Amino acid sequence: MDLKRIVKEERNAPLMLVWRLMMVFLLYSVQRLLFFLFNISYFPQMPKGHLGELMISGLRFDLTAVLYVNSLYILMMLLPIRLKYNDRYKRFARMLFLVTNSIALIANFIDVVYFRYVLRRIDFSIFSEFKHESQIWKLALIGLAQYWYLLLIFIGMLLFLRLIYGDHKKSILVRSNALFYLFSTITLILFSGLSVAGMRGGFTGTTRPITISNAIEKVKRPIESAIVLNTPFSIIRTIHAKTFEVIKFFDEKEAEKIYTPIHEGYPVGSFKPMNVVVLILESFTKEVVGSLNRDLEGGHYKGYTPFLDSLIHKSYTWKYSFANGVKSIDAIPSVIAGVPSLVQPFVLSRYSLNDMEGLAATLKNKGYDAGFFHGAPNGSMGFDAITHMLSIKRYFGQNEYGRKEDSDGYWGIPDELFLNYCAHNFGQLKEPFIASVFTLSSHHPYILPKKYENRFKGGPNPLYKCIEYSDYSLREFFKEASKQPWYKNTLFVLTADHSLPSRDHKEYITSTGLFSIPIIFYQPNSNLIGIDSTLMQQIDIFPTVMGYLKYDAPYFAFGDDRFQPKGNPFVVNYVDGYYQFMEGDYLLQSDGKRLLAAYLYKKDPQYLHNLVEKQDTVMLKHYQRFKAFLQQYNNRMIGNRLTTK
């Protein structure tokens, strides 16, 4: 080996390393700007100069991500060994640099698009959420075709990285072999120390490693945290994230007095057996339901759900109704068991193996049979495992449906066909029964059966034509169900798994608009009719069903029986580092340790006037209830106390 050439390259190695990392660092900022521009409608009324503040705030998160992603490459470049000047070694190091950074850039680009569906950065739970999806690669290819221009920008960034991967010409020669090892070892130690400090987010000994929650420091609204963060950081920081900590805002008796998830039930002998059918409608945001949005567009808005509108006129529904999560897997434990997903999806957390109750387990005590119906391939989204965990032992998926040729080629059996199958196969369950149905056609890539491609016109969002199709499928379902012997003695509950971020109406481009969904109770030929102006959420569905049936024993649910509320109704959810708690006229936002914002959600629907400094007694009373709820939620999760036993 030529020692003179080696020491020249050794002198240049840290300089070239810094140069390459700086260029990756620059690309993260470019991607952050693209992320903002592509999703600008979700950040309305941003004050002048605030984007610059958010861009600057994001730099330390970018530094952490860049150092983590390139940690092996950094080590390879700085090791005090002569092998690193071998041509094969250098080629491998270059490949490692390009591949690892390409993956990180891809993750950021995915969130440019995926963000509009969940309004938060992807975290590590994404790998568990979609691990059962056999069509995920096909869907990814569709996404690439749809957003081809982002693919071109990505390719341009890769070419840029390859271009900047070069060597500086100038150097200071170190002729001594001893000096070579001394210089390279000192460089390794110094760079390692700086890298560790950069990964932690600070240089002092008391600095804790920065986490996702640190992104709230400069934001004015929770959703802006997504601008500050980057996706590689979000994924890395949630690999082994500890979800819950024991909370001691109050002693246990005081917490129980302020809020308790234990429901005493009606007097013994009150129970009236009735079938229960829960229809969870994929992506049926409240925005698409015309009868729940009479004030939109100057009173001329008709929506995209004519059948659901007709059903609402003879049903009981709520004006302010919300999901407790932003993903499909969040919905089932919320709706069926009254357990919300806060911080991360409940079914992907370590607490998903806790003892639980829920509709099926509780009604089993009254002799109920239970089944779950979903037209996707069995195992999709892990729904079969989730429902089994909730004591629903009979699963009806694409395998049971039997005609795989009816599949849409992406998610499964189209809603019209599968809902018709449900109407005729609920009879396989012994009455009284609890049947849950999860639809799927109103989902990206928004494909309709060929015979309906020109029937439904939709609107500005490609989702809307699928909503119209699914609404039509519901009409056909109820037409067939009404002919079945079990129909008249059945309570139907219709809701959505989650909402979707709006692009069309400012009323829904808010942190609560993200969670706005319909919740409808319908019993044929009954007086269960009306529109309730109080709050309602998914975790209230289970106890409200139990209340309607006048269940006469204690049971566990974090929500309330909305027909017999034991206190003020409330709504709780979590978005990008913030808890949101609605009660009375207030929307409160908290990081779980302090109250950060307070808004009067009816008078200030765009949340422009933060009243947290006001600290009035009503606001503080609501905040006390939120803290009691959070204490009960965390401590019961940790202590495996999600039952009445």
What average pLDDT score do residues 261-284 get? 95
At 642 the pLDDT is 93
Highest mean pLDDT among 72-86, 328-342, 493-507: 328-342
- 8 A C-beta contact, residue 304 and residue 469: no
- pLDDT tens digits for 336-385? 999 999 988 887 776 776 888 999 999 999 999 999 999 999 878 778 87
Between 2-11, 79-88, 350-359, the lowest mean confidence (pLDDT) is in: 2-11
pLDDT of residue 354: 81
Contact 346, 94 (CB under 8 A): no
- The answer to whether 61 touches 228, Cβ cutoff 8 Å, is yes
- Name residue, tokens 């271009």: 163
Return the pLDDT at 171: 39
pLDDT of 5 higher than 80? no
Taking 50 as the threshold, does the pLDDT of residue 169 lie above it?
Answer: no
pLDDT at 9 over 70: no
Task: Write down the domain spans for the chain.
Answer: 3-237, 273-563
Q: Are 307 and 479 in contact (CB under 8 A)?
A: no
Between 538 and 3, the more confident residue is 538
| Mean pLDDT for the stretch of residues 202-225 | 64
Four-residue CA torsion sign, 35, 37, 42, 45: positive
Structure tokens at 154: 């990505």
Task: Give pLDDT tens digits for 580-626.
Answer: 999 999 999 999 999 999 999 999 999 999 999 988 999 999 999 99
d(CA 500, CA 626): 25
At residue 322's C-alpha, the angle toward residues 318 and 327, to 5°, is 145
Say how far apart CA 360 and CA 407 lie, in whole Å.
29
Question: pLDDT (tens digit, 9 = 90+) per residue, 481-490?
Answer: 999 999 999 9
Rounded Cα distance between 556 and 365, Å, is 14
Euclidean distance between CA atoms 488 and 636, whole angstroms: 39
Q: The dihedral of CA 193, 197, 200, 204: what is its sign?
A: positive
Q: Is the pLDDT of residue 13 over 70?
A: no
Q: What is the pLDDT of residues 240-259, one digit of tens each?
A: 665 678 899 999 999 999 99
Q: Does residue 178 surpass a pLDDT of 70?
A: no
Confidence of residue 201 (pLDDT cuts 50, 70, 90): low
Residue 579's pLDDT is 95
In 39-81, which residue ranges form alpha helices assigned H by DSSP?
50-57, 59-69, 71-78
Query: Tens digits of per-residue pLDDT, 493-545?
Result: 999 999 988 878 888 988 899 999 999 999 999 999 999 999 999 999 999 99
404/434: higher pLDDT? 434
pLDDT at 186: 63
Distance CA 18, CA 225 (A): 28
pLDDT digits (tens, 9 = 90+) for 20-63: 989 999 999 999 999 999 999 888 878 888 999 999 989 988 98
224 versus 431: the higher-pLDDT residue is: 431
- Going by CATH, does the domain composed of 273-563 fall within 3.40.720.10? yes
**Amino acid 184: pLDDT:** 61
- Percent of the chain past pLDDT 90, that is, above it, reads 57
User: E strand or H helix at 48, and its extent?
Assistant: none
User: Would you state the pLDDT for residue 255?
Assistant: 95
Each residue of 135-154: pLDDT tens digit? 667 767 777 788 888 889 99
Could you read off the pLDDT of 104-124 as tens digits, one per residue?
A: 999 999 999 888 877 778 877
Give the model's pLDDT for residue 85. Answer: 67
pLDDT of residue 200: 61
State mean pLDDT over 453-476. Answer: 93
- 3-state DSSP call for residue 268? coil
Q: Cα separation of 198 and 377, whole Å?
A: 45
What mean pLDDT value characterizes the chain? 87
Q: Which residues contact 398 (CB under 8 A, 6 or more apart)?
A: 375, 376, 377, 378, 404, 407, 412, 413
pTM for this model (two decimals): 0.76
* Centroid of chain to Cα 506: 21
Residue 48: Cβ within 10 Å count: 6
CA distance linking residue 616 with residue 605, whole number of Å? 20
Per-residue pLDDT for 637 more than 60?
yes
- Angle among Cα 24, 114, 495 to the nearest 5 degrees reads 160
Residue 173 confidence (pLDDT): 44
